[in-house]
């Protein structure tokens, strides 16, 4: 019996390493592509495929080993070489024909074969990944645009489209496009922004609208709370006046305190501890490092899924991303505990409005723990990182353009924005709450220019066509195509803006002809997935900018050699991540 089994194993090994075995393995490889891999999405199954591959490889190695030991034909060194040889031969026999089939299909048969772009990009997204190790994604896509035109094939199934209409086509009301597979890397967390299709979206959106107070006319203390943090912030700037401060860090701390207070009713008191030597605090730093992994995960989601799954076993892979998600989950757990503790009278916050709204409408999906964790993460990143980036880039432009700074300041003073008292403290009882923040037109022009030239989401926000094609200009985009629409490049299109590289706030006020095609400007996205935090984000940016402007003059630190590193070192981590911005403030009173 044992002899028969051994004989059987020997036959298997001889068969798979003989020409007939190779042909059959090759046939299986090609069939797996043509009949299986070519259909549907596979990125979430990447870990399963790797496990299967490891199991089959171990099985083949074990059989070869058993056969060799039983036959005792080789020394141990030769046996090991024999095992390795068998494993390599079997893998080559299966995978080489599979890869050839994949490459030839993508190059010569695919619906996107007519679109221009680098040939290797058409074969595999690994091309894209290898390039963004060398350069930033928004620079790479801009270069490709210059070389190949407005529609470039940047992946087997992907087009990058730099056209004024594209943001409306993929996101406008009635668009049939859905979010691309890249959003799945947040799983198992399911936040508002990772719900890819219409199903389940509307009810979650309602929770967000309630949490942000969009369904009610007014959240009473929203402005007062922001003023409270601003008062402290202005006091800190006053205390550091005349010295160089890294406003990238300072604005991160400000936005983080405002967000955690608004969302979770808790402040980390980061503003209180600011000084000219401040380094980014652990919490925002953790989120920022986590988001930086998206630079690599977004273009090739299956690699992202693999790294995230492997992180507990191979810690170096994506641990930053997992840690950032864990931070949000912990934050959420603490907040849930507070809700449970008897006698705790918690001030109303976005979290309580969210859960109250879900309970009222019996929306169990939104109350699921993984959904709450996901939305807590979305709140933390989307709610703070975004406003911090806008403020940083706005202050970069204003700091190097004293004339624009002065115009924005005069406008704010005329609108009644109050200055701080001698010690830098604002009187919270003053009438700043009566200022119509959305009537500061010149400041809004500056904010729009900032959003156009330094979009908070420079290249992300990928969508995909479903079974229907979509039309962009005169071109039809086939079904099942991933569409990348980089705001970084679209905001700089000659066809949409006059003097597109220049910071000209008047194009949004007195010189509307300088915006040739307003559809090219969509900094908060549009349609179903339009940013729910738009009003809150803009309020925070307008208030902070106006109140700092009426209190200080500021300029880029003349002592720093590289004053443009805030732009030069801007990373594309789905959200933008600017370099350091060193500014010197001079009090006006």
Chain residues in the site for ligand HEM (CB under 6 A): 192-193, 378-379, 382-383, 386-387, 390, 451, 456-457, 461, 523-525, 529, 531-533, 536-538, 541
Give the pairing of strands 463-464 and 244-246.
unpaired
CB of 354 to ligand HEM, least distance (A): 11
CB of 368 to ligand HEM, least distance (A): 17
Choose among 491, 453, 403, 455: nearest CA to 166: 491
CB 474 within 8 A of CB 440: no
CB 433 within 8 A of CB 443: no
Choose among 460, 417, 497: nearest CA to 138: 460
CB 177 within 8 A of CB 466: yes
Nearer to ligand HEM, 93 or 525 (CB): 525
Nearer to ligand HEM, 60 or 470 (CB): 470
CB of 58 to ligand HEM, least distance (A): 40
Rounded Cα distance between 481 and 125, Å, is 14
Nearer to ligand HEM, 156 or 374 (CB): 374
**What is the torsion angle, in degrees rounded to the nearest 10, for the CA atoms of residue 274, residue 379, residue 129 and residue 529?**
-140
CB 187 within 8 A of CB 194: yes
CB of 202 to ligand HEM, least distance (A): 11
Choose among 559, 564, 562: nearest CA to 578: 564
CB of 10 to ligand HEM, least distance (A): 56
Nearer to ligand HEM, 156 or 523 (CB): 523
Nearer to ligand HEM, 329 or 390 (CB): 390
CB of 539 to ligand HEM, least distance (A): 9
Task: Identify the three-state secondary structure at position 87.
Answer: helix
CB of 385 to ligand HEM, least distance (A): 9
**Within its chain, how far is the Cα of 463 from the centroid?**
13
Rounded Cα distance between 426 and 198, Å, is 46
546: tokens are 């106006």
CB of 451 to ligand HEM, least distance (A): 6
Nearer to ligand HEM, 22 or 351 (CB): 351
Choose among 34, 40, 45, 29: nearest CA to 302: 45
Rounded Cα distance between 577 and 392, Å, is 10
CB of 531 to ligand HEM, least distance (A): 3
Nearer to ligand HEM, 296 or 379 (CB): 379
CB 457 within 8 A of CB 106: no
Nearer to ligand HEM, 97 or 523 (CB): 523
Cβ atoms within 10 A of the Cβ of 478, count?
16
Nearer to ligand HEM, 29 or 523 (CB): 523
Residue number closest to ligand HEM, CB atom: 533
518: tokens are 């307003």
CB of 214 to ligand HEM, least distance (A): 10
Nearer to ligand HEM, 384 or 405 (CB): 384
CB 241 within 8 A of CB 557: no
- What is the biggest distance separating any 2 CA atoms in the chain, rounded to whole angstroms? 98
CB 236 within 8 A of CB 205: no
Rounded Cα distance between 389 and 574, Å, is 12
């Amino acid at each position: 019996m044992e002899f028969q089994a051994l004989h059987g194993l020997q036959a298997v090994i001889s068969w798979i390493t003989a020409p007939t075995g190779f042909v059959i393995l090759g046939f299986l490889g090609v069939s797996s592509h043509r009949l299986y891999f070519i259909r549907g999405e596979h990125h979430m199954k990447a870990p399963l495929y790797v496990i299967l591959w490891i199991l089959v490889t171990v099985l083949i190695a074990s059989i070869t080993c058993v056969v060799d030991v039983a036959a005792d034909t080789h020394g141990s060194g030769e046996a090991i070489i024999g095992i390795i040889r068998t494993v390599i031969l079997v893998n080559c026999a299966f995978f080489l024909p599979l890869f050839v089939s994949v490459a030839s299909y993508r190059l010569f048969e695919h619906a996107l074969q007519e679109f221009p772009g680098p040939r290797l990009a058409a074969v595999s997204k690994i091309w894209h990944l290898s390039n963004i190790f060398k350069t930033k994604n928004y620079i790479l896509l801009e270069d490709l645009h210059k070389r190949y035109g407005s529609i470039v094939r940047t992946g087997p199934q992907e087009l990058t489209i730099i056209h004024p209409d594209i943001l409306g086509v993929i996101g406008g009301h009635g668009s049939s496009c859905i979010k691309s597979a890249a959003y799945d890397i947040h799983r198992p967390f399911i936040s508002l922004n990772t719900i890819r299709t219409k199903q389940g979206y509307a009810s979650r959106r309602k929770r967000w609208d309630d949490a942000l107070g969009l369904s009610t006319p007014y959240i009473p203390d929203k402005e007062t709370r922001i003023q409270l943090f601003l008062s402290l912030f202005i006091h800190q700037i006053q205390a550091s006046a005349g010295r160089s401060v890294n406003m990238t860090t300072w604005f991160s701390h400000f936005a983080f305190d405002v967000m955690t207070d608004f969302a979770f009713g808790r402040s980390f008191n980061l503003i209180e501890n600011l000084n000219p030597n401040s380094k980014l605090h652990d919490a925002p730093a953790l989120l920022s490092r986590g988001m930086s992994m998206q630079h690599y995960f977004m273009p090739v989601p299956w690699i992202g899924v693999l790294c995230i799954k492997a992180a507990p076993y191979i810690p170096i892979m994506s641990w930053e991303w997992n840690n950032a998600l864990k931070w949000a989950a912990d934050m959420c757990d603490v907040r849930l505990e507070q809700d449970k503790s008897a006698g705790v009278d918690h001030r109303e916050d976005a979290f309580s409005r969210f859960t109250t709204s879900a309970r009222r409408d019996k929306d169990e999906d939104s109350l699921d723990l993984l959904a709450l964790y996901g939305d807590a993460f979305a709140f933390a990143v989307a709610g703070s990182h975004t406003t911090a980036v806008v403020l940083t880039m706005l202050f970069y432009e204003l700091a190097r353009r004293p004339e624009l700074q002065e115009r924005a300041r005069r406008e704010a003073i005329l609108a009644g924005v109050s200055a701080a008292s001698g010690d830098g403290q604002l009187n919270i009882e003053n009438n700043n709450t009566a200022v119509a923040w959305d009537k500061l037109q010149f400041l809004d022009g500056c904010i729009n220019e900032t959003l156009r030239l330094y979009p908070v989401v420079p290249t992300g926000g990928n969508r995909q066509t479903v079974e229907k094609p979509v039309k962009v200009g005169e071109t039809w985009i086939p079904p099942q195509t991933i569409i990348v629409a980089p705001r970084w490049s679209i905001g700089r299109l000659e066809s949409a803006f006059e003097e597109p590289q220049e910071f000209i706030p008047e194009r949004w006020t007195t010189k509307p002809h300088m915006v040739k095609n307003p559809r090219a400007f969509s900094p908060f996205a549009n349609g179903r997935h339009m940013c729910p935090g738009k009003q809150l984000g803009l309020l925070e940016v307008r208030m902070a900018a106006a109140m700092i402007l009426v209190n200080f003059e500021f300029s880029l630190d003349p002592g720093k050699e590289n004053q443009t590193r805030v732009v030069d070192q801007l990373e594309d981590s789905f959200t933008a991540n600017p370099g350091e911005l060193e500014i010197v403030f001079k009090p006006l009173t």
